[in-house]
Amino acid sequence: MNNGTNDFGVSFAQISFLNRLLTAHSNVIEVRRSNDIQFDIVRERGGPIRLVCLDEYACGLARVFETQAAFPNVNLIYVGGVWNSYTKDAKQYCEAEQIGLFNAKEITGSLCRSDFWRYVRAD
């Protein structure tokens, strides 16, 4: 896996962390990375996922719109590590559009569901 460049400022460390997380997941059969931060995921149970890897401390609606414009078929936006999050407006919009919006604590649970965009991590 070589690192290209991306317009979202995502580091190779963040991309590598996500790649390891995805390839080790029990419901993931195949992961293909392209466009530096795009991951196409084939799952054992559930449909395919086109994930875009970001590194946003607080992902807002504007960043979601930017991501959709750059990656029109995105259906899961990963905002980054456990300290990263998103605004309430961004989460509500994504759920209405059937787009998952998750950080590192939430993403593994979402990959097990057919309706992954609705996943809510239990405290």
One-character DSSP codes across 98-110: T-EEE-TTTHHHH
Whole-number pLDDT of residue 13: 95
In Å, what is the CA distance from 12 to each residue of 24, 32, 37, 57, 70? 18, 16, 9, 17, 19
Host H or E run for residue 32 = strand 28-34
Listed residue (65, 75, 84) closest to 11, CA to CA: 84
Residue 2 dihedral angles phi and psi, to the nearest 5°: -100, 155
What share of the chain in percent tops pLDDT 70? 97
pTM for the model? 0.94
Residues of the chain with pLDDT under 70: 1-3, 123
Whole-number pLDDT of residue 122: 72
Whole-number pLDDT of residue 3: 64
Rg (CA), the chain: 13
pLDDT tens digits along 43-64: 999 999 999 999 999 999 999 9
Whole-number pLDDT of residue 117: 97
